[in-house]
Amino acid sequence: MVDHQGGARDGHLRERDEELRTAEQSLDRLCRDFEAGGTEIGELLVYASPAGLGKTAVMDHVRRLAKLRKTCTVLSGRGGERQVKEPFHVLKQLLLPVLGGLTEAERSEVFGGWYGIVGPAIGLVPPSGEVEQLDPQGVRDGLDYVLTQLAPRRAPLVMMVDDLHWADQESLTWLASFAVRARHLPVLLVFAHRNEFEEEGRSLQQQIESQATRRHVLRPLNPASVTELVRDELGAEAEDLFCRQVWAVTRGNPYDVAVLLREVKEQQLEPFEENVQQLHDLAAAAKGMTMEYWLEKLGPRVIRFAWACALLGTDIKQNLAGAICAQSPAEAEESVRQLRRHHVLTTGPNGRLDFVHPVIGTSIYQTMPPNTRTGMHGIAASAIENTGGSLLDASRHLLETHPEGDDLMVAKLRQAATEHLAIGAPEAALRCLQRALYEPPDEDLRAEVLYEAGSAALLTDPLATVHQLKQALALEPGLSPEKRVDATFRLSEVLAHSGELVEAAEVCRIEAERTASATDRLRLEALHFMWIAWQRDEVDGPERSRRLADLGNRISGQQAPERAVYTLRAWDLTLRGEPAHRALGFVDQATDAGRLPEGLGWRNTTWGFELPAIIGLTYTYTDQLNSAEKLFAEAITEFEVAGWSGAHRGFSYFLMGLVRFRRGLLAEAEDFLRRGLRLSERIAPDLPLQWDVVGVLADTLLARGRVDEAWELARKYRFAPPYHPTAMVLPDAPTLYGKLLLAKGDRAGAIEVFRSVGAQLSKRGWYNPVWAPWAGQLALALAPDRPEEARETAAQALEWAEKFGTFSARGTALRIQAAVSDGQNAVALLEESVNLLTQSPVSYELACSLVDLGGALARTGRLTEAAEYFYQGIELAQNCGAETLVAQARRELARTGLRPNRLRTLSKESLSQHERKVAELAAQGVPPHRIADQLNVPLSLVHRRLAAVHRKIGTGPEGLAEALGLPGPEPEETD
């Protein structure tokens, strides 16, 4: 950072006692609390003022105070007016020195799995090339992780950023979010800025300042302080009126005072009353710093070097500046000497040149004639490349050049955009591509550049993506046939993700009609059907299903387009409630033994993540929950590794939450769903993702008995009619809303909703009783007042469930049928329900049927049998996290005079077959991850079963073999 010298520093620190005292107290508190074992001890100090009032001098002083404390790690960065569009410029200054100095072991601990994402962003390593376009939110998440790991290892940590108003958007966005997180770390943040943030940075400024422990606004010096400065610099004989006039013409600005006094000394002006009139002219000249002012001071050769420095901004390399202005090393050295003498340049702590004050750099840059400025920017870009710099570094200079129709310039800008995308800076990439369009490119390349611009904006500006991709598709000569299809897919994708599903489907249909290649046409036809499948409303669902079936019957291959059609057929059959084995047959054709084939992966840019999601959803609703869970776990891992932290990861959390809900792991489901909800909130409100998450989360809360919380969640996120205007909510939103009404006791409202959704889905030809269990819920709502209609409705629901054929659908429908039946008939239905659900993976539904069966048996006087089913239901409900179901079962037990809990001694006989197998392997010394591999089950499931084993037989790992009556593991051989 800049180290101001002499009187300028003294002036800048006058009347700053309170500001410096606050910093010293914060440093003392940080060090003291950390030494005492504190961790959540972070603070944020903010210093704000107009230019020249001493922010940098205060920051320099605080930095020295921090470095005097030997335990502190001090990280410094500074925004630059010229580098405000250079991605991660401030973060590179802050983090590269400390992260670049980590040992291999430290790096592994600090970065975890984020090295390939954070490393390129801060310039630590080049992009790996594995991911073409990093998600900016993923980079920010990675930075959060890295700093969370770094802070305790380098604590107490002091992070300082000067000229925050000139921080690049990528750095500023992360700093604003980290300001919230820092309070939970042993970190002191110290930021200084002018109130000159660009429009897009003002909300971030407010976010930062809202987190400040203390915010100081620096004020101009009073007349007495200026008088002291004048006499310190010019001698004690300086007259009062002269001193007063210095204060008046500078308005007490410490920097302006220092510059004016330097001019007074150079002019050898005596500090007496008769010279007061000249102060105004001197101050105006010094403050204006016009071309004439600098030419008079520096001369033409030195000012060209100063211009080169101004182009570079902060952290100036002398040899690079010399190359830009065509000066030899000796000439550059002389220019630097002159600029130091005139208090233009100084040396920063890193040994590189910097302007004594940012005002000087701004002034010199603004004195450059426009043609000279643009020409020197072009020279600067070439010089950076010629000295080993990257296009990432050179691109900000390329943006400032005059458009000349230069093909090489277009190529460089396109390559720079690619490099920006690879480090998670799509906005910088878009600036490069927009500049390339102004060059302009050759007519045969213009469509390609528009396509690239649209793709670059995909994650940050959907409207720009739509506009540019439509332009690219409309141009003649336009894109190659292959790129036309890619552009159409990306256009349809961004339209769909923005809720414009009808237009997305239509775009694909129209392009398919004009596409000659059979493979490409099939791809577009499949996409057309896919976007229709996600629409909330459909004019003729059965006809669309027929057309999809016809398309499927015409193909037989195993390439990606054919597999996409098989996937869509599987989902269509699932929603229609056709026999589940038919849907699974198409899934088998779409996958490689349950694994995603090449070309249909989660991060595949040809098809998007929707097709793998459809495969997983088909598994979810056809009782193949283990297969679904594997797919969704793969999605989470892939998105995390790629740094995709937006809608992709949010949707993967939703899917995992959904499958955990179906399995009856309600606490785990709630955790995943809340993670997905947090991600959806930081993207944008009212996205289809948010509706999906809220619906299943509300259903999960209902299953856990937290009805009021579920209702409040729905109210907060407006989960109510008319729902999302265009997108289908997963699973069916009206059915979920009807369940909420029924749980709140509004049976009339629920009946109306269920009848409406039944009519709508029947018109569409959708009768899946798991996806939208409206008929069963309608039967429950009708039962108190219209029992006969309730039984008829439940019978219809059972008929659809029998047709669909899964154990969970049939077992659940039988339980609903029993709920509207009486006596022995209800018992028989529930016995069959339990029998079916025992063969399914849906443990919560089984727990409900067990408790209901216990109640039905108790009502027919079969108390001993009832007790056993109650106890089984209670144990399973406890494992599910269904607290209210447990309470219901215990109330039923109490009502019949039975014990509220099973009376038994814990032993190995209480283990289930699955628990016994895990226990036997563990007793032999097989570690959990090997057990998971041998049994082909998730590691998390192994841990849960081991926990149940230890709980049931009352011993830890060391006593497991003995408790099971097995020999222990073989002792390891020793040399």
**Per-residue pLDDT, 934:** 87
N-term to C-term CA, the chain = 60
**Per-residue pLDDT, 533:** 86
**Per-residue pLDDT, 930:** 85
Q: Which residues pair with 346 in a beta bridge?
A: 354
Task: Show which of 217, 248, 272 is a domain's final residue.
Answer: 217
Backbone angles phi, psi at 639, to 5 degrees: -70, -35
Task: Show which of 217, 235, 259 is a domain's final residue.
Answer: 217
**Per-residue pLDDT, 53:** 93
Q: Is residue 933 part of a domain?
A: yes
What confidence category does residue 72 fall into, taking pLDDT thresholds of 50, 70 and 90? very high
Q: Judge whether residue 3 has pLDDT over 70.
A: no
CA distances from 260 to 285, 633, 666 (A): 9, 67, 72
**Per-residue pLDDT, 777:** 97
239, 327, 311: which is closest to 275 by C-alpha? 239
**Euclidean distance between CA atoms 78 and 172, whole angstroms:** 11
Residue with more model confidence, 970 or 932: 932
Q: Which residues pair with 190 in a beta bridge?
A: 45, 160
Reported as a single tens digit per residue, the pLDDT across 315-324 is: 899 999 999 9
**Per-residue pLDDT, 2:** 37
651, 652, 656, 582: which is closest to 622 by C-alpha? 582
Q: Is residue 912 part of a domain?
A: yes
What confidence category does residue 118 fall into, taking pLDDT thresholds of 50, 70 and 90? very high
Note the helical H segments in 300-406: 300-312, 318-324, 329-341, 358-366, 370-386, 391-398
- Average of per-residue pLDDT values in the chain: 90
748 burial level (CB within 10 Å; 0-12, 13-18, 19+): exposed
- List Cβ neighbours of 778 (8 Å cut-off, separation of 6 or more): 738, 750, 751, 754, 755, 758, 790, 793
3-state secondary structure of 939: helix
**Do 267 and 150 belong together in one domain?**
no
Q: Judge whether residue 856 has pLDDT over 70.
A: yes
3-state secondary structure of 189: strand
**Do 151 and 129 belong together in one domain?**
yes
What confidence category does residue 704 fall into, taking pLDDT thresholds of 50, 70 and 90? very high
Host domain of residue 13:
6-217
**Euclidean distance between CA atoms 565 and 141, whole angstroms:** 36
User: How many domains does the chain contain in total?
Assistant: 4
Reported as a single tens digit per residue, the pLDDT across 793-851 is: 999 999 999 999 999 999 999 999 999 998 899 999 999 999 999 899 999 999 999 99
**Do 190 and 232 belong together in one domain?**
no
Per DSSP, 195 falls in state S
**Euclidean distance between CA atoms 316 and 319, whole angstroms:** 9
**Do 77 and 104 belong together in one domain?**
yes
**Per-residue pLDDT, 912:** 79
**Do 276 and 305 belong together in one domain?**
no
Reported as a single tens digit per residue, the pLDDT across 534-552 is: 888 888 889 999 999 999 9
CA-angle at 756, arms to 750 and 758, nearest 5°: 100
Are 653 and 676 in contact by the 8 Å Cβ rule? The answer is yes
Average pLDDT score over residue span 700-706: 96
782 burial level (CB within 10 Å; 0-12, 13-18, 19+): buried
What confidence category does residue 942 fall into, taking pLDDT thresholds of 50, 70 and 90? confident
**Do 213 and 329 belong together in one domain?**
no
What confidence category does residue 6 fall into, taking pLDDT thresholds of 50, 70 and 90? very low
Reported as a single tens digit per residue, the pLDDT across 484-509 is: 999 999 999 999 988 889 999 999 99
Neighbours of 267 (CB within 10 A): 11
**Do 196 and 303 belong together in one domain?**
no
Average pLDDT score over residue span 238-242: 92
> Cis omega before residue 927 (within 30°)?
no
CATH of residue 959's domain is 1.10.10
The torsion angle over the Cα atoms of residues 946, 951, 956 and 959, rounded to 10 degrees, is -100
Q: Is residue 264 part of a domain?
A: yes
**Do 211 and 251 belong together in one domain?**
no
**Per-residue pLDDT, 881:** 92
Average pLDDT score over residue span 761-784: 96
Q: Is residue 18 part of a domain?
A: yes
**Per-residue pLDDT, 646:** 81
**Euclidean distance between CA atoms 23 and 30, whole angstroms:** 10
Reported as a single tens digit per residue, the pLDDT across 178-218 is: 999 999 999 999 999 999 999 989 999 999 999 999 999 99
Q: Judge whether residue 975 has pLDDT over 50.
A: no
Q: Is residue 637 part of a domain?
A: no
Q: Judge whether residue 903 has pLDDT over 70.
A: no
What confidence category does residue 974 fall into, taking pLDDT thresholds of 50, 70 and 90? very low
Count the alpha carbons within 13 Å of 578 in the hemisphere toward its beta carbon: 17
Count the alpha carbons within 13 Å of 312 in the hemisphere toward its beta carbon: 27
Are 504 and 465 in contact by the 8 Å Cβ rule? The answer is no
**Per-residue pLDDT, 954:** 67
Average pLDDT score over residue span 951-970: 72
Q: Judge whether residue 437 has pLDDT over 80.
A: yes
**Euclidean distance between CA atoms 581 and 584, whole angstroms:** 5
What confidence category does residue 905 fall into, taking pLDDT thresholds of 50, 70 and 90? very low
> Cis omega before residue 731 (within 30°)?
yes
Q: Is residue 39 part of a domain?
A: yes
Note the helical H segments in 154-222: 169-181, 202-210
CATH of residue 330's domain is 1.10.10.10
Q: Is residue 90 part of a domain?
A: yes
For the chain, give the percent of residues with pLDDT over 70.
Answer: 96
CA distances from 255 to 260, 316, 722, 822, 968 (A): 9, 22, 61, 90, 80
**Euclidean distance between CA atoms 613 and 41, whole angstroms:** 43
Residue with tokens 């597999």: 563
**Do 104 and 229 belong together in one domain?**
no
**Euclidean distance between CA atoms 660 and 68, whole angstroms:** 54
Reported as a single tens digit per residue, the pLDDT across 372-400 is: 999 999 999 999 999 888 899 999 999 99
**Do 201 and 75 belong together in one domain?**
yes
Q: Judge whether residue 754 has pLDDT over 90.
A: yes
**Per-residue pLDDT, 539:** 81
**Euclidean distance between CA atoms 403 and 410, whole angstroms:** 10
Average pLDDT score over residue span 420-429: 94
Reported as a single tens digit per residue, the pLDDT across 582-617 is: 999 999 999 998 899 988 999 888 888 999 999 999
**Do 229 and 360 belong together in one domain?**
no
Average pLDDT score over residue span 139-149: 94
Are 700 and 666 in contact by the 8 Å Cβ rule? The answer is yes
Residue with tokens 């040899």: 319
Return the H-helix or E-strand segment holding 45: strand 43-48
CATH of residue 45's domain is 3.40.50.300
Q: What burial letters (b/e) apply to 117-127, b meaning 16+ CB within 10 Å?
A: bbbbbbbbeeb
Task: Show which of 368, 399, 431 is a domain's final residue.
Answer: 368
110 burial level (CB within 10 Å; 0-12, 13-18, 19+): buried
**Per-residue pLDDT, 606:** 87
CA distances from 140 to 171, 408, 643, 672 (A): 9, 33, 9, 20
pTM, full prediction: 0.81
| Pair of tokens at residue 34 | 């950390």
Q: Is residue 516 part of a domain?
A: no
**Do 123 and 159 belong together in one domain?**
yes
What confidence category does residue 908 fall into, taking pLDDT thresholds of 50, 70 and 90? low
State whether the Cα torsion 484-485-486-488 is positive or negative.
positive
- List Cβ neighbours of 295 (8 Å cut-off, separation of 6 or more): 303
Lowest-confidence region among 520-529, 814-823, 959-968: 959-968
Reported as a single tens digit per residue, the pLDDT across 7-24 is: 334 556 889 999 999 999
Reported as a single tens digit per residue, the pLDDT across 788-797 is: 999 999 999 9
**Euclidean distance between CA atoms 964 and 949, whole angstroms:** 10
**Euclidean distance between CA atoms 319 and 328, whole angstroms:** 9
**Per-residue pLDDT, 7:** 35
What confidence category does residue 5 fall into, taking pLDDT thresholds of 50, 70 and 90? very low
Average pLDDT score over residue span 623-629: 94
Sheet holding 43-48, edge to edge: 73-78, 157-162, 187-193, 43-48, 214-217
Average pLDDT score over residue span 891-896: 88
